[in-house]
Amino acid sequence: MTPATAVIRLRASVAHRWIGDMNVDKIPCSADERAALLATMTGLGGRDLSLPVGASIEAPLPVGEHWVTAAGASVENGVIVYVHGGGFTHRNPPLMNLLAERISQATRRPALVVHYPLAPENPYPAPLDAVVDIYRALLGHIPADKVVFFSESSGAALALSAMLRLEAAEKPAGVITVSAVTDLSLQSASIDTNTASDAGVTRELLASFIGAYLAGAPADQAPQSPIFGDLREMPPLLLAVGGAEALLDDTMRFGEAAATVGVETRIDVYEGMPHAFSLSTLDEGHPTGRELLNRVGAWVR
């Protein structure tokens, strides 16, 4: 799991440093890039979310109901398990498919898109059970070391929670999170300090979504709140987060906790970017989106 052999051009101006045992890259993002992202978010309702020519929704393996394979991607390279965000309560299948196509294209692997049951009708542990079950079904057709998880926001909480449920031999080759929720007890300071710079993510909103998901289960216990788990057997981690996010510290604290117990951990901080900045990947010309995809692809390959 290293970008050393990948032939991909990344930004030369990235600030690289170590914080303890964490490998942290700070990626500069301009005000224009942030403005373009916010325009994309605002215009999602009227956007054409059709998959590009050459993409397929045919299942390359007999497991799961939802797959997206970009042109040129092959199951011979492995599989991406995509666990979507949406506050545990929502999903937008066309948007998810288009994001999955971008990740499939970047990694050259088909993406298995997990449609886990949604809260509040299906609270914890039903969504987590579904993620674990579909992944274990996938392992009947492909080795664990050929699988990487890609996850966003609340989906990242589910992906990391799933790692705490799995046996060592079942762990995938790696887990990628973007804008992760890792502490459902909302103890991260950035939830309050970064509210003004994020795109409408507040403590009240997070509490509402998390309450619907937990339905009375403890917020400060694992596996539902992964930061409180035993992280020693986590697979390698690539944790991407916006520097302006209310959930910035959820990623930083989780990364530090994982690195402290010896987990291979890299954090990419996209400076000035708000929550859900992965939507920048929808526009092929967006520099932040292109950088995110390049880094994801390089890390996987």
Beta strand 111-114 pairing with 67-68: antiparallel
Decide: residue 7, CB within 10 A, 0-12 exposed, 13-18 middle, 19+ buried: exposed
From the candidates 33, 101, 152, 245, which is the catalytic residue? 245
- 93 vs 254: CA distance, rounded Å: 29
Angle, nearest 10°, between helix axes 287-300 and 31-42? 90
Cα separation, 146 vs 40, in Å, equals 33
The CA distance from 247 to 199, in Å, is 11
101, 151, 152, 153: the catalytic one is 153
Q: What is the CA radius of gyration of the chain?
A: 17
Beta-carbon-side half-sphere exposure of residue 269 (alpha carbons within 13 Å): 22
Asked whether the beta carbons of 148 and 175 are under 8 A apart, the reply is yes
Q: How far apart are CA 14 and CA 28, in angstroms?
A: 7
Q: Strand, helix or coil at 32? A: helix
28 Ramachandran zone, left/alpha/beta (phi>0; psi -120 to 50): beta
Task: Let me know if 121 is a catalytic residue.
Answer: no
- Residues 222 and 26: their CA atoms lie apart, in Å, by 29
Q: How many CB atoms lie within 10 A of CB 57?
A: 13
- HSE-CB at 245 with a 13 A cutoff on CA atoms is 27
Is 153 tagged catalytic? Answer: yes
Residue 24 · residue 17 · CB < 8 Å: yes
Q: Catalytic amino acids? A: 153, 245
